[in-house]
Amino acid sequence: MFLISLSTRLTKSVDGGILLDVLQGAMFSLNPVGTRIIELLREPQDSLSLAAKISQEFAVSEETVRGDVEEFLATLAKQGLLAPKNDEPDSADGGL
């Protein structure tokens, strides 16, 4: 599961968006698909779920989208823009 880092900020435009990492002081330009992926990553997602949603929303085959999503997620991870999702239950879920 992937989750966008809390240190990132997204500004959307007609052409896509700009992703700012406030900790690194780095900016990344995004096309509309990349912007939508960042929006979807506000909730924990795996690459297959992301590919299915992008495929449906942009009317592109899931097979085509899957590789691009994986590559985009790898780039985000390399830049430190993905945060690991904690799979352990928290106290609100009855965990210890």
**String of DSSP letters for 57-94:** HHT--HHHHHHHHHHHHHHHHHTT-EEE---S--GGGT
Query: Encoding tokens for residue 69?
Result: 């999503």
- Cβ atoms of 8 and 24 closer than 8 Å: no
Q: Encode pLDDT of 15-70 as tens digits.
A: 999 999 999 899 999 999 999 999 999 888 889 999 999 999 999 999 999 999 99
Query: Encoding tokens for residue 49?
Result: 């779920």
The residue extents of the domains of the chain are: 2-82
pTM above threshold 0.85:
no
CATH architecture of residue range(s) 2-82 = Orthogonal Bundle (1.10)
**String of DSSP letters for 7-42:** TEEEEEETTEEEEEETTTTEEEEE-HHHHHHHHHTT
Confidence of residue 83 (pLDDT cuts 50, 70, 90): confident
Distance CA 2, CA 23 (A): 19
